[in-house]
Amino acid sequence: MRLQTEGSMTQAGYDLCQKCKLAIALTILAAYTFSGESAKAQIQPDATLPNNSSVIPLGPLKIINGGTRAGNNLFHSFSEFSLPTANIAYFNNALDIANIFSRVTGGNPSNINGILAANGSTNLFFLNPNGIILGPNTQLNIGGSFISTTANSIGFGSQGNFNATIPNDPSLLTINPSFFQYDRAATQPANSIEVRGNLFVNSGKSILLVGGNSTPNSQSTGRILIDGTINGFLIAREGRIEIGGLSAPGIIGLERDANNPGLMSLSFPQNVEKIDVSLLNRVALDVRGNNGGAVAT
């Protein structure tokens, strides 16, 4: 793995409470709605779950209901998931849900430039093997950790996996996830994770960007790019920011802190080369706090 940096630093960002951020966002969205400037989101549920996801469009607000519950896990599945500026994708989960898993089963990358929101302290896992672009206007309004990955599937120990390449039934996946699996080529040549804006999570939580996956011509180009040209902060105060992936088939372990289940980290196999990670234009990775934090690539 080669870490490429250009003016990267770890300096202060700024803190906004989740409720304040959502209130501000809704005000901005209302202005866009009345001015007619809101673009159309492309959030299309598929029919691969026992209880399928559904989307209620209310102007720029897209309320995501349904999904299949297994224990404290909630699974959503979409054929397409892209979100333009001035739109909110609101996962309307029950407050006792610990983890939301959202997979994209179609062949296109996800281009997200709006707000991803959920209830309570749930962790949000976003899975698209064909690429994820988080644009300069992307915001997180979640209480837990945020995990973005281009893996083919997320594994749950011996219970099985939640697969985006070969969609399957997750009804028995009741435990916490334990690994990310890369075992099939992506259908898109540009299957990268790109972050071009600011990502914030609450204190003591994690931001994990788990990239990789081979392309149709077997070239390992599934890099991770974080570009601070317009904004450029990743903030997880007293938490963990981890960025990495595999350049070939393999498994990346997912571990949780024994004293803080919302604090997650990755473990990489020794026999598989990591992908390239590029930090450009004064990107700031901020995990500061009285109890410390960690950044890893």
Q: What's the pLDDT at 119?
A: 98
pLDDT digits (tens, 9 = 90+) for 150-169: 999 999 999 999 999 999 99
**pLDDT score, position 233:** 85
Residue 60 has pLDDT above 60, yes or no: yes
Q: What is the mean pLDDT of the chain?
A: 85
Q: Widest CA span of the chain, in angstroms?
A: 55
Average pLDDT over residues 235-248: 93
Q: Which of 177, 174, 176 is nearest to 71 (CA)?
A: 174
Tokens found for residue 26:
């809704």
- State the DSSP code for 54: E
Map residue 30 onto helix, strand or coil.
Answer: helix
Q: Which of 33-37, 82-86, 286-290 has the highest mean pLDDT?
A: 82-86
Closest CA to 89 of 120, 129, 122, 54: 54
Q: Locate 99 and state its tokens.
A: 């983890």
Query: Number of structural domains, the chain?
Result: 1
**Residue 44, token pair as written in the block:** 């299309």
Q: Is the pLDDT of residue 144 over 50?
A: yes
- Total residues found in the chain within this entry: 297
Whether pLDDT at 134 is above 60: yes
The pTM assigned to this predicted structure is: 0.86
CATH number of the domain encompassing residue 145: 2.160.20
| Mean pLDDT along residues 123-131 | 96
Task: Tell me which residue range forms the domain holding 39.
Answer: 3-296
